[in-house]
Amino acid sequence: MPKALATFSPLRALVVGTLGVALVTLVLLPFNDRLNEAVPALLLLIPVIAAGALGGRIAAAAVAIEAMFAFTVGFLPPFGSPTVRIGHDLVALALFVVIAVVSGVLIATVVDSQRRQVAADEERIAALEQADQQRSALLRSVSHDLRTPLATIRAVATDLHGDAPFEPAARQELLGLVIDEVERLDRIVANLLSLSRIEAGAFLPDRQSVDIGELVEDCTQRLSRVLERVRVETDVAPDLPLIDLDYSQIDQVLSNLLENAARHSPDGSVVEVVVRQVPAERAGGAPASEPRADPPSLLRVQVVDHGSGMAPELREHLFEPFASATGSNSSGVGLAICRSIVEAHGGTIRAAETPGGGATLTVEVPNRV
């Protein structure tokens, strides 16, 4: 079905149908006394059908009325008058009206159904193309993200398997590098598994009472080798209550944010983790200087880096799958996982520019305990 038919307006279809009725009438009118009534009746059906195909039922019905008037005045005796003779002419007019309206509406219905089918096919094709693009991006992501740690592991294993002697300290350092890369692979696989669970609609948090300060400490210690190029400073407000969260999912969020911050920070710079409890009405503003426990409240976790930052146009798409900061070799899956986890907890995540340069990623989730 051509797109022109799918987008033709009823008004334009009415104009086309009216012009068609006028053209048929003007061409046949000089011969009205010599023509069989069936000839103008059939020819006047053409504009009705065209109007129905182009503009729908309303346009078809309107043009059918015009065609009926033209047929009555021009081709049924007495010619030039809207009156008809009882009997044969009245039956002919009634048949014409019924056939014109039914055929016009029927054509309009068929065309409208085909139009909807074409639209559904186009949406399905677009969805398939998008899925294919995401699949290609995922393959590129897996190819790149997995190749680097695997190459490191293979190189270290080859060196250790060789005949060259290593000092105990050097051997321990190489083994520690292997452990780091294995943990990195584990995070990548965890993100990909989470992505598949999100797409399957099976990504629900298993909530429990969590000490957020303990979670932050465990996470930073576990990522100590990943964060060794930067200096991590944690600022967790004292006396925070237990928060109703999925520990492993929020740990995954914090791990992705810290790894992302370290990746985009220069050596020796500071990466800050700031945790506060803020009133819900203050969500989106600056962190409160004095923590308040008055309900309703939000838990706010901010990861602040002082790296190259991000372009404003990229910030809007930062949490979409396979989007990543300019110059990054990362696939961007991690930040998309973060958004899905935070939203599953009823919270929000956003990115902003750090004063002086860098990026600040802020997570806010309701305190439900």
Q: Which residue has the higher pLDDT, 198 or 178?
A: 178
DSSP string, 275-339: EEEEEGGGTTSPPPSS---PSSEEEEEEEE--SS---HHHHTTTTSTT---TT--S-SHHHHHHH
Mean pLDDT of 173-199: 78
DSSP string, 160-204: HHSS----HHHHHHHHHHHHHHHHHHHHHHHHHHHHHHHHTT---
CATH architecture assigned to 138-199 = Orthogonal Bundle (1.10)
Give the pLDDT confidence score for residue 357 in this predicted structure: 87
Specify the range with the lowest mean pLDDT, choosing from 86-90, 212-216, 242-246, 325-329.
325-329
Residue of 342, 346, 337, 345 lying closest to 197 (CA atoms): 337
Give the pLDDT confidence score for residue 143 in this predicted structure: 67
pTM of the predicted model as reported, rounded to 2 decimal places: 0.55
Is CATH 3.30.565.10 correct for 208-366? yes
Phi, then psi, of 86 in degrees rounded to 5: -65, 140
Q: What is the pLDDT of residues 43-53, one digit of tens each?
A: 888 888 888 88
Domain ranges of the chain: 3-125, 138-199, 208-366
Give the pLDDT confidence score for residue 66 in this predicted structure: 87
If you search the block for the tokens 């945790």, which residue do you land on?
Answer: 275
Give the pLDDT confidence score for residue 324 in this predicted structure: 52
Give the pLDDT confidence score for residue 84 in this predicted structure: 53
Give the pLDDT confidence score for residue 340 in this predicted structure: 86
Give the Cα-Cα-Cα angle 11, 16, 19 (nearest 5 degrees). 125
Measured CA distances, 217 to 98, 102, 254 (Å)? 81, 75, 11
DSSP 30: G
Mean pLDDT of 231-254: 91
Type of residue at 132: D
* Average confidence score pLDDT of the chain: 79
User: Exposed, middle or buried, 350 (CB in 10 Å: 0-12/13-18/19+)?
Assistant: middle
Dig out the tokens for 312 from the structure.
């404003």
Dig out the tokens for 107 from the structure.
């054509």
Specify the range with the lowest mean pLDDT, choosing from 78-82, 286-290, 317-321.
286-290
% of residues, the chain, pLDDT over 70: 80
Give the pLDDT confidence score for residue 232 in this predicted structure: 94
Specify the range with the lowest mean pLDDT, choosing from 6-10, 23-27, 178-182, 285-289.
285-289
Residue pair 323/313 in contact (Cβ under 8 Å)? The answer is no
Q: Answer yes or no: is pLDDT of 349 > 80.
A: yes
Give the pLDDT band (50/70/90) at residue 40: confident
Q: What is the pLDDT of residues 53-110, one digit of tens each?
A: 888 888 888 888 888 888 888 777 776 666 555 555 666 667 777 777 788 778 878 8
Q: Which residue has the higher pLDDT, 263 or 289?
A: 263
Give the pLDDT confidence score for residue 80 in this predicted structure: 61
Q: Answer yes or no: is pLDDT of 25 > 70.
A: yes
